[in-house]
Amino acid sequence: MNRTNALERHLLTRCYNSDNQIEELLKTRYSLTGDQKPVIHFTQYKGQAKTKSLLHSEPNTSTGIITRERKVNTRKDLQVYIKQTLDNQKKVIKKIQAHNRKKTSDSNPFPLSKFIKLFSIPQYEEFIGLNNLWQNYMQDLLFVNNNNNANNDKSKPLHIPSMTTLLPKLSTADYNGCLLTVIQSKNSNLVGLRGIVVWDSQHSFIICVPSKEDSKEWNETKDDFSPSEMLGGFRAVPKQKSLFAFDVILPKQSTNSNDDEDEEDECVGFTMIGSRFEFRAVDRSGKKFKSHSVDGIL
C-alpha cells in the first residue's frame, strides 16, 4: 500500500510528539500481519506549546479570561467614568463661578490645580501621547506605499495618493486619539472647540479639550477665560449636524540633514461629516457607506 494517510497523520501530529511513533502507529494500523486496529487512540498532546503571538496571548491569571460580563462591565465602567468626570467638571465650574461672584478687590485667584487634583479631572497634556500615536497610525495607513518609494528616492517631494484611495481608508479608520476641531455645529457654542478624541461613541465624540489659550482658535491672544475654558477636561460633542476638521501630518521626507529642524511640517486637512458618522467605531469598520440626501448634513 502506498497511501500517505495524510488525514490521520495530521490528526496524530496533534497527539504525539515524535514522527517515529506516528509512523509506527500507522504501520500497525494498516499492516497485513499486525493487529489492524479499527480505532485510533488519540492522547492528549504533551509537547511544547506553541508560543502565541502577542496579540492573541491571554494573561495567565484566571481573572484574565474575557467573559461577556467583563466586557459589559468595562463598557459600563467607561460610561460611568465619563459621566462622573463630566459631573465633576460641572461641580468645579460651579465653584469657580461662585468664587468669581464673591470676588472682591483683594481676593486671590481660584486654586484651580488643587481642584483638578481633587476631582481628578483629566488634562489635555495626558492625551498628547495618544495623539502622537494616532498621527503615526494615520501616516502608516495613508502613506504606506509612499514610504517605500521614498526610501528609493528621497529628493522627490512626497506624492499624496489620490482622493479615491485616501478617503475610503479614512472613513473606516479609528479616531481615538485624533485632534478634532468642530468647524460647524447646530450648537454654536461648540464651534471652535477642539480636543483629542478619548472615546468614539455612536452619537457623539468624547474629546479632551486643552485649557486656557489653547482652548479655541480665537483664544490664543486672550487673557481671561470662561470657567469651562479654564478647566479643560472632557466634552461630549454630538456628531449630528456637525462638521469636524482634522489634520494629518505628512511623514518627513528627508532624514539625512539636520537643518530640517526649523523646516516646517506639512499636513493635509480633512473634514468629517458628523451626520454620516453616527455609527459605533466597530460597525463603521466594515460599513458600506451610501450617499443620501444632503439636506440633513448641516
Partner 1 sequence: MLYDLNVPWPVNDYHTKPTDVELYTLKNTIVTLHTLGYDHIAINFQITESVKIPLNQTHLINPIDIASLQKSLSPQFPSIKLFSRLTIVIYDPAKLQGLAKLQAQFDILAIQPLTEKALQLSTTNLDIDLISFNLGAKLPFYLKHKTIGSAVDKGIKFEICYNNLISGSIGYANSPTNPIDNIQFIKKNFIYNVLQLVRSSRSKGLIISSGATLPLQTRNSEDILNLLRTFGLDQSRSKSCVTINPERVLVNGRLRIKSFKQTIVMDNNEISSNSIIDNDKEDPKKKTDSNGYKKRLDSTSSGRLLKKQRKR
Q: Minimum distance from CB of 122 to partner 1 (Å)?
A: 15
Please return the burial class of 152, using the count of CB atoms within 10 Å of its CB with bins 0-12, 13-18 and 19+: exposed
Read off the C-alpha cell for 83: 459621566
Q: What angle do CA 70, 238, 79 make, to 5 degrees?
A: 20
If binding means CB under 8 A, how many residues of this protein chain bind partner 1?
51
| Residue selected from 112, 179, 207, 208 as contacting partner 1 according to rule CB under 8 A | 179
| 253: its cell numbers | 521626507
Q: Write the binding mask 183 to 222 for partner 1: x where contact by CB under 8 A, - elsewhere.
A: xx---------x---------------x---x--x--x--
| Spatial contact of 279 and 287, defined as CB atoms under 8 Å apart | yes
Q: Shortest approach of partner 1 to residue 47 CB, angstroms?
A: 49
Kindly state the smallest distance separating residue 70's Cβ from partner 1, in Å: 32
Site residues for partner 1, 101-130, by CB under 8 A, read 128
Of the residues 33, 148, 152, 162, which one makes contact with partner 1 according to CB under 8 A: 162
Query: How far apart (Å, rounded) are the C-alpha atoms in residues 231 and 225?
Result: 9
Query: Between 19 and 126, whose beta carbon lies closer to partner 1?
Result: 126
Q: Residues, the chain, total?
A: 298
Q: List beta partners, residue 206.
A: 199, 236
Joined together, the cell numbers standing for residue 126 give: 495626558
Spatial separation of the C-alpha atoms in residues 286 and 53, rounded to whole Å = 24
- What mask of x and - would describe binding to partner 1 in positions 237 to 266, judged by CB under 8 A? ------x-xxx-xx-------------xxx
Exactly one of 164, 188, 189, 258 binds partner 1 (CB under 8 A); that residue is 164
Cβ distance 228 to 114 under 8 Å? no
Instruction: Indicate the residue among 198 and 243 with the shorter CB distance to partner 1.
Output: 243
CB of 104 to partner 1, least distance (A): 36
C-alpha cell at 118: 481633587
CB atoms within 10 A of CB 179: 21
Minimal distance, residue 131 CB to partner 1, in Å: 7
Of the candidate spans 42-50, 90-98, 100-108, 155-163, the one that interacts with partner 1 by CB under 8 A turns out to be: 155-163
Toward partner 1, which CB reaches closer, 131 or 176? 131
Tell me how far, at minimum, the Cβ of 278 lies from partner 1, in Å: 11
Binding segment (CB under 8 A) for partner 1, from list 65-73, 81-89, 110-118, 290-298: 290-298
Alpha carbon of residue 4 to chain centroid: 49
Q: Does 225 bind partner 1 (CB under 8 A)?
A: no
Among 271, 282, 283, 285, binds partner 1 (CB under 8 A): 271
Residue type, 225: F
Cell of 186: 447646530
**Cα separation of 222 and 229, whole Å?**
11
Which of residues 31 and 132 has its CB atom nearest to partner 1 in the complex?
132
Strand order from edge to edge, sheet including 204-209: 233-238, 204-209, 194-200, 179-185, 242-249
Contact residues toward partner 1 (CB under 8 A) are 128, 131-132, 135, 159-164, 166-168, 170-171, 179, 181, 183-184, 194, 210, 214, 217, 220, 243, 245-247, 249-250, 264-273, 276-277, 289-295, 297-298
